[in-house]
Amino acid sequence: MKVYLPLGDFPNYVNALNFCGAEICREHPEDCDALLLPGGGDIDPKLYGQENRGSEGIKEERDRLEAEAFRIFAERGRPIFGVCRGAQMVNVMLGGTLHQDIPGHRQEGNDELRHGSRTVDPLLISLYGERFIVNSTHHQSIDRLGEGLRAVQWAEDGTIEAIRHDTLPIFAVQWHPERHHEPIEGWKLFEALFK
């Protein structure tokens, strides 16, 4: 499978995609089989009709390129997988909104914060069980869900940790499977979605 990974140097994502045998595409998204929207800085709040109330690291060119790629893959009914910022982009592209600054989900410094979660999603249950630990390195999260999306995983405080589209092959997680504390365990999700 050819997976479009727009922009940037993402070694953890490259390792995960290599693990599942996917070919990485950097150009011509219309010729690729699936889209991966990776983590990173915050999305410009203008895209979901809000003023900036705590968003950081905004890159308008990245927002534009990812929005364009999302439209191409969604219109063609091709798989889209979002991670962290990517999950937020999926939600925004379908008309949803974000909490711009939430407490307790980002550790300062090099340590990675982890917390429990629960899921009702059959794929996640088959890989990790109904309750499992996820990493947490974000300060924004999904607020109002976009059209056709449903929450399928939650942190202990109720923060949405995964979403799935009702009819399109769109799946996204707020946590980072590409840098799971046991890498192969996290990479299993990439394998299930892209192999």
Q: Which one from 84, 105, 161, 180 is the annotated catalytic residue?
A: 84
Q: How many other β-carbons are positioned within 10 Å of the β-carbon of residue 45?
A: 19
Structure tokens at 2: 């050819």
Give catalytic status of residue 176 as yes or no. yes
Cα 31 to Cα 6, 63, 89, 158, distances in angstroms: 13, 21, 21, 38
Exactly one of 105, 165, 178, 180 is catalytic; which is it?
Answer: 178
Instruction: Assess contact for 171 and 162: CB atoms under 8 A.
Output: yes
- Annotated catalytic residue, options 138, 165, 176, 180: 176
For residues 115-149, b (16+ Cβ closer than 10 Å) or e, as one string? bebebebeebbebbeeebebbbbbbbbbbebbeeb
65, two tokens: 């390129």
Output phi, psi for 145, to 5 deg. -70, 145
Catalytic annotation, residues: 84, 176, 178
